[in-house]
Amino acid sequence: MPSKGNLLIVDDNKSILSALEILLQDDFEEVKTIAGPAQLPALLETEKYDLVLLDMNFSAGVNTGNEGLYWLSRIREIRPELEVVLFTAYGDVELAVKALKKGAADFILKPWDNNKLRATLRNVLQLQQSKKEIRQLRHKEQALKSEINREGHQFIATSPLMLEVLYLVHKVAQTDANVLITGEHGTGKELIARELHRTSKRSGEILVTVDMGAISETLFESELFGHKKGAFTDAREDRTGKIENAASGTLFLDEIGNLPMQLQAKLLTVLQNRMVTPIGSNKPVPVDARLVCATNRNLDEMVAEGQFREDLLYRINTIHIEIPPLRDRKDDIAAIAGHFQKVYCSKYRKPCTSLSEGALKKLTAYHWPGNIRELQHTIEKAVILSDTPELTPGDFFFKSTQPENENIFDGTIEELEKKMIARGLKKNSRNLSAVADQLGITRQTLYNKIKKYNL
């Protein structure tokens, strides 16, 4: 049932204001009256109104209607979505046409007919609410399209280990069970999530990906739950949250292990109730998204150390899919390397066609601490620097594993920074908050550098 809405009446005749307030009190949630337009800008910035009934003349002896047209323009500047009905005792066809051209929803003459006035205001309110619904649908459609149109990547698996994983993915995809994907950085956890969605009964809907490690604590609720215009200082318009965007599709929460404890409780409440309430609203929105999470951290150990909620782990871990590191599935290296070679030859317009047998042996012998992501960057660099169509062993350079007691002051500033972060992660068992405190940087900065250095 449509809301009754809030009405603001602006007229310099107090008798008219009193009469209209009594007449319209049952038609609206709230009827606010003011005796002059000077208060309008402040009221429109701080209060919520759905409709304004505005007199057109406020100065004694003036009946041109220009004052009303001026304040109509000001209202449209401050609140473009607000509908305005003009009200005057000195109306003619020319003035009515001018008012409608400037954006008025309708034009009412004094003295008014009660039934006609009430019907006009009800119709304009219904129009305003219909336009609001259309705007919300357009915002949601734009958000969905931006998620759908994200660049996808090809899923490649030839090794027995990965074929087993793929079999499990396709089996689980036919259900709505929550899935937890684990594995080292760069193993392809997001690709597995996309394959789950692609082969599920929800494949016609959207897959929404949220990098939990990249969302600051202050923006967490706004990003995931959405907000209403005016809910906080920078909330200039309604925004649909990521969870609501997932609608009847799949919600992929990447790096779930990086979520601070206080935010885990808020996420758990949404998952348990299957309802999300945008900031600034008291109306919960139903959630029907299939949940897939991923992390490179050991959540069981984090639970034991009090860093991750056990009840949240149970909620997200109906099915567990572990992705083996690339060093344990070397049969995949040739196919993955060949795929990236084609991608980057096309991107950089290079005539390369294949990997030499020696190059493939070199790639297979390497231990790939950065997994598929490191292989991807290695192939890209080789394609860029190679002067021949075939990539050879000389096109690939790998840093040897350095001893733990190596002098940290050898190398560039970026290399030193990478070493310090790597040591901090190892020392603190990848507890990002502890590492950030140790290094004297914010958790968000640390997360960005981990991504940058592929740690």
Beta-carbon contacts of 188 under 8 Å, excluding residues fewer than 6 positions away, are 155, 323, 371, 372
126-130, 307-311, 439-443 — which is least confidently predicted? 439-443
pLDDT band (50, 70, 90) for residue 447:
confident
Length of the chain: 455
Q: Is the pLDDT of residue 364 over 80?
A: yes
What is the pLDDT, as a whole number, of residue 1? Answer: 41
Contact between residue 71 and residue 57 where contact means Cβ atoms under 8 Å apart: no
- Sign (positive or negative) of CA dihedral 434, 439, 442, 444: negative
Tell how strand 179-182 and strand 290-295 pair up: parallel
Amino acid making up residue 24: L
What is the pLDDT, as a whole number, of residue 187? Answer: 93
CATH topology of domain 160-324: Rossmann fold (3.40.50)
Average pLDDT over residues 21-34: 91
What is the pLDDT, as a whole number, of residue 130? Answer: 85
Report the mean per-residue pLDDT for the chain. Answer: 86
Contact between residue 255 and residue 295 where contact means Cβ atoms under 8 Å apart: yes
Q: What is the DSSP string of 315-366?
A: HH-SEEEEPPPGGG-GGGHHHHHHHHHHHHHHHTT----EE-HHHHHHHHHS
The pTM is what?
0.59
Neighbours of 135 (CB within 10 A): 13
What is the pLDDT, as a whole number, of residue 321? Answer: 96
What is the pLDDT, as a whole number, of residue 142? Answer: 65
Beta-carbon contacts of 62 under 8 Å, excluding residues fewer than 6 positions away, are none
What are the structure tokens assigned to 42, written together?
Answer: 């402040």
CA distances from 22 to 85, 112, 354 (A): 18, 15, 83
Q: Is the pLDDT of residue 404 over 50?
A: no
Give the architecture-level CATH label for domain 413-453. Orthogonal Bundle (1.10)
Q: What is the DSSP string of 152-190?
A: P------SHHHHHHHHHHHHHHTS---EEEE-STTS-HH
Contact between residue 54 and residue 20 where contact means Cβ atoms under 8 Å apart: no
Q: Is the pLDDT of residue 173 over 90?
A: yes
| CATH superfamily membership of 6-134 | Response regulator (3.40.50.2300)
Measure the CA–CA gap between 322 and 189, rounded to whole angstroms: 9
Domain boundaries, the chain: 6-134, 160-324, 327-395, 413-453
Which among 193, 207, 455, 142 has a CA at the least distance from the CA of 323?
Answer: 193
Q: Which residue has the tokens 């049932």?
A: 1
6-134 and 160-324 agree in CATH topology? yes
What is the pLDDT, as a whole number, of residue 330? Answer: 92
HSE on the CB side for 25, CA within 13 Å? 6
Could you report the per-residue pLDDT of 80-124, keeping only the tens digit for each? Answer: 888 899 888 776 677 778 888 888 888 888 888 899 999 999 888
Measure the CA–CA gap between 248 and 269, rounded to whole angstroms: 19
What is the pLDDT, as a whole number, of residue 230? Answer: 79
Measure the CA–CA gap between 298 and 319, rounded to whole angstroms: 15
My answer on whether omega of the bond before 111 falls inside 30° of 0, hence cis, is yes
Could you report the per-residue pLDDT of 308-323, keeping only the tens digit for each? Answer: 999 999 999 999 999 9
State which CATH number among 1.10.3720.10, 2.40.37.10, 3.40.50.300, 1.10.8.60 fits the domain covering 327-395. 1.10.8.60
User: Higher-confidence residue: 409 or 261?
Assistant: 261
